[in-house]
Amino acid sequence: MSGKRYENMNGVQLDNNFRKLRQWQAERRKKVNDFSYVVPQSEEKQIAYLRSNRTETTFTWIGHSTFLLQMGGWNVLTDPVWAERMGFARRLAAPGLQMSELPDIDAVLLSHSHYDHMHMASLNRFKSAQLFVPAGLAAALRSAGFARVTELGWWEQAQLGELELHFVPAQHWTRRTLWDTNRSHWGGWVLQPSRRQGREAVYFAGDSGYFPGFREIGDRYAIRQAFIPIGAYEPEWFMSVQHVTPEEAVQAFLDVGAEQFIPMHYGAFRLADDTPKEALDRLTAEWERRKLPETALRIAKLGETLK
């Protein structure tokens, strides 16, 4: 981690102090949430195809914010987390693919350093891959044995062959210890072919509260698919600066001007007081309220490959 402290756009700061944390925990003890709904697993996992494919563009949801993206002949993982627990809580649904079922991974994209996005036991399984990470993380990862690490700030770009990787803003924060708050940055990623023809960019939002940056991202890139979080928003008075609600996620999708919305960041870990079923119900209700096209919302199953 670097010595610099990173900030959000427009100076937005979290005010989740110890008093508010205690208030949330007191509220949480009084709630009875139903976590019986489990995100379904795909019955048609295409493991052999994924291992051989180097031509078609595909997206496979593994769980939470972990996707296998196959673009431009490259196999790319986002925020790889195969943890069975997050803190004291067990994982709510098994990963859609096991590590042993993956094709050879060429690159890993990290959105930020929180444990549910940068899980070192999972990440250590991909030391031969190229890592693309937010500013402030490279030194620590090199010390951990990763030889090929590229660090980017907001709006900076790296190349993976003919594939452009753009690191874009989000509204969030970072901390892994008591002493490193905001010592590394946070953001999302836009992937697009260098030789662009029409709307080909893919947007992986990472973790974010709702902010004006979504519209700016939409102004800069011609986005086809947008992977946007919908979970960990409750209680909203505590979470709203750092996590979008499902309704805000729909607005973010409209802001970035994408053609298709693939929801993520729900169903794997109990990070807040919302449940996976509540997040999906609110998402689909807002989609219907706005009369958006059914085909533009793709709710993936775990392990499902979208082509």
Q: Can you spell out the DSSP letters for 142-207? A: HHTT-S-EEEE-TT-EEEETTEEEEEE--S----SSTT-TTSS---EEEEEESS--SS-EEEE--S
Q: What does the alpha-carbon distance between residue 214 and residue 227 come to, in Å, rounded to a whole number?
A: 12
Does any domain span residue 232?
yes
Does any domain span residue 125?
yes
Q: What does the alpha-carbon distance between residue 286 and residue 301 come to, in Å, rounded to a whole number?
A: 20
Write down the pLDDT at residue 138.
Answer: 97
* Cβ atoms of residues 73 and 161 within 8 Å: yes
Question: Which neighbouring-strand residues pair with 262?
Answer: 227
- Give the residue with greater pLDDT, 22 vs 264: 264
Does any domain span residue 258?
yes
Write down the pLDDT at residue 29.
Answer: 78
Does any domain span residue 284?
yes
Of 207, 209, 43, 246, nearest in space to 111 by CA? 207
Q: Over the stretch 112-156, which tens digit does the pLDDT of each residue have?
A: 999 999 999 999 999 999 999 999 999 999 999 999 999 999 999
Does any domain span residue 26?
no
Q: Which domain holds residue 256?
A: 42-306
Write down the pLDDT at residue 9.
Answer: 94
Does any domain span residue 242?
yes
Task: Grade residue 300 by pLDDT with cuts at 50, 70 and 90.
Answer: very high
Q: Over the stretch 167-212, which tens digit does the pLDDT of each residue have?
A: 999 999 999 998 999 999 999 999 999 987 778 999 999 999 999 9
Of 115, 137, 131, 141, nearest in space to 2 by CA? 137
Write down the pLDDT at residue 2.
Answer: 63
pTM: 0.96
CA atoms 237, 227, 74, 306: torsion sign: positive
Residue 76 identity (one-letter amino acid): V
* Cβ atoms of residues 203 and 190 within 8 Å: yes
Q: Which is it for strands 89-90 and 58-63: parallel, antiparallel or unpaired?
A: unpaired
Q: Over the stretch 76-120, which tens digit does the pLDDT of each residue have?
A: 999 999 999 999 889 999 999 999 999 999 999 999 999 999 999
Q: What does the alpha-carbon distance between residue 165 and residue 292 come to, in Å, rounded to a whole number?
A: 29
Write down the pLDDT at residue 305.
Answer: 98
Question: Which neighbouring-strand residues pair with 228?
Answer: 263
Does any domain span residue 10?
no
Number of domains in the chain: 1
Q: How many CB atoms lie within 10 A of CB 29?
A: 7
What CATH number is given to the structural domain containing 140? Answer: 3.60.15.10
Write down the pLDDT at residue 139.
Answer: 96
Q: Can you spell out the DSSP letters for the chain? A: --SS----GGG------HHHHHHHHHHHHH--------PPBPS---HHHHHH-SSS-EEEEEETTEEEEEETTEEEEES----SEETTEEPSS--SS-GGGSPPP-EEE----STTT--HHHHGGGTTSEEEEETT-HHHHHHTT-S-EEEE-TT-EEEETTEEEEEE--S----SSTT-TTSS---EEEEEESS--SS-EEEE--S----THHHHHHHH--EEEEEEE--S--SHHHHTTTS--HHHHHHHHHHHT-SEEEEES-SS---SS--HHHHHHHHHHHHHHTT--GGGB--PPBTPEE-
Instruction: Decide if pLDDT at 1 tops 70.
Output: no
Q: For a pLDDT cut of 90, what percent of the chain falls above it? A: 87
Does any domain span residue 2?
no
Could you give the C-alpha distances from 233 to 5, 150, 206, 249, 296, in angstroms and in order? 25, 31, 14, 11, 23
Q: What φ, ψ does residue 194 adopt, rounded to 5°?
A: -65, -40
CA atoms 190, 193, 194, 199: torsion sign: negative
